[in-house]
Structure 1
Amino acid sequence: MTASAPTTQVLIVGSGPTGLTLACDLARRSIDVRIIDKSAEFPRSSRAKGPNPRSLEVLEDLGVADRVLAAGSAPLPMRKYRNGLAIADTDPFGASHPTPDAPYDRPWLIAQWQLEEILRDRLAEYGVRVELGAEATRLTAGSDSVTVGLADGRSIGARYVVGCDGGHSPVRRLLGVRFEGKTNEEQMMVCGDVEADGLDRDYWHQWFDEDGAVMLCPIPGTRSGWWFQAGPERDRAGAPVPPSLESFRRLFAKHTGLPGTRLTQATLLSTYRVNERMADRYRVGRVLLAGDAAHVHSVAGGLGMNTGIQDAFNLGWKLARVVTGQAGPGLLDTYEEERLPVASWTLDMSSERLRVTLDAIREPGGGLDAAVTGETTGLGLGYHWSSLSAAGSTARLRAGDRAPDAPCLDAGTGAPTRLFEAFAGPHFTLLGFGPGTADALRAAEAAYGDAVRAYGVGAGGPSGLTDEAGHARTAYGIEPGTDILALVRPDNYVGLIAPTAGSRAVGAYMDHLSGTAFRRP
């Protein structure tokens, strides 16, 4: 059996945050995309607690960060209890503040269903809607397309398929990709969304004792909704009791000393086991994996959903260039090249944060704040090893680093703007620091049109930015009197840093993207 002619350019299987981020990124690039999900209706469960600072930057680029910030709330101080008594309040982000190069200094609390709703609304603005009740059960690969067979007998043809369908990914299983790692049955937790009365909603409450724990965090946008997490209740034989409102009430009463009847409703009843697994491949021909379909790990550090969102943002521009013929299929190999090592690092880091947190909560005053470090922001991750990171560096940056933000002024109007506003959208951005870069900026725009937008930072050129306070030069490590070009990829990582004398490197880099074999340019 051969695959049918494609009926869409890209088919995304799974409509969680990873799939929706990818769909939005492709749709704004005018890629014909369909997104399906096996569920009969959209979930109303909270699940993940929200985006970290790097994911907020991604969401800003997609044009939805303001909606996310309005629907959610800043992280709450953590109130920790021992023997039923409050003994410590901790705000792990109390000393954090935005900086010119990093406008988001903390993660944001928002129920996952609300984030998904915002992304679906954004996707609908491009005329694309999630197709529910579509369960992928078969994959048939042809020379130029893939056919996905559905449980109801229908099939969908596509040039490329991306499995964003979770830790139990049918797409991954159909591909025969190994999901290597381990499951720790001892480190188990029951979770749910609950309604609760009589608790102060200005805190994330955490009760710890020698027998277990109960944690309740208010769900933003609700009057009495809470995220509930606890060590499982066990029966006389030591087996975990399935989660229910009644078992949640018993756990709540046991660990808090408060009446269990304060919990009045429970949904999203689930048992969570610590899984640390990673796919050994992210691409098999025309089928790719992203998000939990490619990696799962401990919840410590809150990196699960965030790693998936950032997978999608890495893949979107590459897939679009291949589909439109701007690059050969080899560009898709750089998705695995860049993101698989990040997943490996995430597994190691979240495992270590879990160990630190379990040690911390054994001591009075310890809590989930032990999982929070600068590494969990996502801002420090980059792709220095990538074949898409050309040689080049400044005093502050090198190719492969995240491209910093900076407040500037529009050189023509004097209106305030930011580098992130210049980056936003499906294009490369060429920054020219110093007046000697003006000719190179003009040449790049002439050669590549809308694919590369060029901005002179105090350099003249086709579009100008005034770095009045010097924040851009500081963030990019530009020494006084030097002329430097910095090429920023569509996913807002630095691809190239070159002196003006090496301005031909920009053309070489863009030509390199059009090839099928990738080497360090």
Structure 2
Amino acid sequence: MTNGFAADVLICGAGAAGLTLAIDLARRGVSFRLIEKLDDPFRGSRGKGIQPRTQEVFEDLGILDRIVAAGGFFPKQRKYADDGSFTDADVVEAEPATPAEPYHLPLMVPQFLTERVMRERLTELGHGPEFGCELLGFTQDDYAVTARIATEAGEETVRVRWLVGTDGGRSFVRHALDIGFPGKTLGVRAIVADVMLSGLSRDVWHRFGEGDMQRQISACPLAGTDLFQLQGPIPLEGHVDLSVTGLTALLRERTGRDDPFVHSVSWASAFHMNARLADRYRVGRVFLVGDAAHTHPPTGGQGLNTSVQDAYNLGWKLDAVLHGAPDGLLDTYEAERRPVAQAMLGLATSLLDAMKRGQMRRGRDVHQLDIGYPESFLAVEAPERHGVLLAGDRAPDAHVRGAAGQPHRLFDLFRGPHWTLLTYGDASMATRPGLHAHAIGQRGDLADDAGQFRAAYGVAAGDRVLVRPDGYIGAIVGAGEDAVLDAYLLQVSMAGKVDG
């Protein structure tokens, strides 16, 4: 307990968003509790696509290699015609990896495996979710949130600095705050089920009845498991049989084949597709993150990724305010992330419309590499730039060489909860707590032998690039603009002078 608080942060909901926030806070030494009303971890595959930008986030959190090992890449899609003929095509329009963008393909990892890896990482950091622990209610004042929690041992009351609702589309936290959740029901009801299945090969994603909302069905082999994920639209009303018998009958009816056979069902759900966005992401000391703030159709594989990146945006800001940054820094969470969700909802809805016509193609727009915050007050340029990289953009990767001769990636330098300051040229840098400084030049600690840093960042001699803890450009300042950089660092809680 710190200063009368049970913890700094109470996180309500232990899905991907809650786990991301917990991992980020844990590595920062911020105290928290992560509660989940379910008695056990979620065991479905629902969010199975890990987009390239989220892969970069997972690399920073120390889990990317494990995530890749747990899953795999998407197989080709096999679309069957009514006569049984078929064509194979890539799920995603592929682009080559580059030094600036090292991850170029989405991963397929069933959600339950992703969350398992995240829980293991959280355990390494000395924490874990509290299952069977439900938020019953809360109040807040200018200084704290007081929450009532039901646990196996009985009801308890805790006092925390902030409450974060990562509790899904039916969010108790959002309802308790009476935050509007406008949007629309999209007129599509569908099933998703994880099953043991014979009669279909595991080398492709089988799709039948494309463009026909009465007959569509797909069976995707789930990487890292022996399961298939079945997906398909169903009538808007009425009972749907999600048993072994019911799913086998549905699969045979829609494929026109008698060889598919469902042997067991490990998880299944029938749901109505919606596109909704919360009116607000923050009320005082309470925040909404992930599906609690936005819900969407599954087309395009954006939901889990957007939720993870919500949490990744908020974590460092909570830490900064704890260490003296002004409270207004927390307002940038909604200002930066709500427009992203709004754009994601539009993309997922347009992809749903394309799916109905049998014409869905996923391109670069689903990778989330082009997301940025150029309108944020945390994006500062002096002088104003007109080039390849602007403040608020994602910080690209690049290969550089250490002065001792060893190769490095910029992402290696960024990894961790700190800020990073890159100076292009030979200026010496004074660091401070929470800031790692590097000079890239002939007499710097890093050399840009291949010119990748200069090409990706568009810098001139004396320029300084400040990279936020979440991998976005906070500021780009030219030589002689130390005062601008000092003022910026002060507002994010790092006092002192920058020497150069």
The verdict on a shared fold, with TM-score over 0.5 as the criterion, is yes
Partner deviation per Cα, 1:54-101 (whole Å, 9 max, x = no partner): 000000000100100111101111111121624210014464221100
Bigger shift: residues 147-156 or 59-68: 147-156
Gap change, CA 1:84 and 1:23, over 3 Å in 2: farther
The answer for unaligned runs of 5 or more in structure 2 is: 495-500
Q: Pairwise mapping of residues 306-455 of structure 1 onto structure 2 (< 5 A)?
A: 306-323=305-322, 325-359=323-357, 361=358, 366=359, 370-391=360-381, 392-393=384-385, 395-412=387-404, 414-435=405-426, 438-439=427-428, 442-443=429-430, 445=431, 449-455=432-438
The 3-state SS of whatever aligns with 2:234 is coil
Bigger shift: residues 23-32 or 503-512: 503-512
Structure 1 match to 2:208: 207
Separation of aligned partners in 2, 1:260 and 1:168: 39
Structure 2 match to 1:65: 64
| 8 A contact 1:14–1:164 mirrored in 2 | yes
Between the two proteins, what is the percent identity of the paired residues?
40
Gap change, CA 1:356 and 1:34, over 3 Å in 2: same
Separation of aligned partners in 1, 2:80 and 2:300: 21
Deviation at 1:337, TM superposition (A): 0.7
Partner deviation per Cα, 1:160-211 (whole Å, 9 max, x = no partner): 1100000000011111111111112x31111110111132211111111543
The answer for unaligned runs of 5 or more in structure 1 is: 516-521
Separation of aligned partners in 2, 1:95 and 1:303: 17
Q: Pairwise mapping of residues 18-167 of structure 1 onto structure 2 (< 5 A)?
A: 18-83=17-82, 85-93=84-92, 95-151=94-150, 152-167=154-169
Q: Pairwise mapping of residues 475-486 of structure 1 onto structure 2 (< 5 A)?
A: 475-478=456-459, 482-486=461-465
Gap change, CA 1:175 and 1:94, over 3 Å in 2: closer
How many residue pairs get aligned? The number is 485
> Root-mean-square deviation (CA), in Å?
1.8
Separation of aligned partners in 1, 2:162 and 2:111: 27
| 8 A contact 1:389–1:399 mirrored in 2 | yes
| 8 A contact 1:100–1:406 mirrored in 2 | yes
| 8 A contact 1:5–1:145 mirrored in 2 | no
Deviation at 1:394, TM superposition (A): 5.5
Separation of aligned partners in 2, 1:84 and 1:29: 58
Gap change, CA 1:394 and 1:66, over 3 Å in 2: farther
Separation of aligned partners in 1, 2:249 and 2:454: 58
Partner deviation per Cα, 1:256-297 (whole Å, 9 max, x = no partner): 122266111123221121111111111111110100000011
Separation of aligned partners in 1, 2:136 and 2:53: 34
Separation of aligned partners in 2, 1:512 and 1:142: 24
The 3-state SS of whatever aligns with 1:500 is coil
Deviation at 1:103, TM superposition (A): 0.7
Q: Pairwise mapping of residues 240-255 of structure 1 onto structure 2 (< 5 A)?
A: 241-255=240-254
| 8 A contact 1:18–1:308 mirrored in 2 | yes
Partner deviation per Cα, 1:312-366 (whole Å, 9 max, x = no partner): 110010011112x33121111010110111111111121112112222x1xxxx5
Separation of aligned partners in 2, 1:260 and 1:275: 34
The 3-state SS of whatever aligns with 1:490 is coil
Structure 2 match to 1:501: 480
The 3-state SS of whatever aligns with 2:182 is strand
Gap change, CA 1:21 and 1:491, over 3 Å in 2: same
Separation of aligned partners in 2, 1:230 and 1:242: 13
Structure 2 match to 1:195: 196
Q: Pairwise mapping of residues 453-468 of structure 1 onto structure 2 (< 5 A)?
A: 453-458=436-441, 460-461=443-444, 464-468=445-449
Deviation at 1:44, TM superposition (A): 2.1
Separation of aligned partners in 1, 2:372 and 2:268: 37
**TM-score normalised according to structure 2 size:** 0.93
| 8 A contact 1:354–1:371 mirrored in 2 | no
Gap change, CA 1:305 and 1:95, over 3 Å in 2: closer
| 8 A contact 1:145–1:160 mirrored in 2 | yes
Structure 2 match to 1:518: none
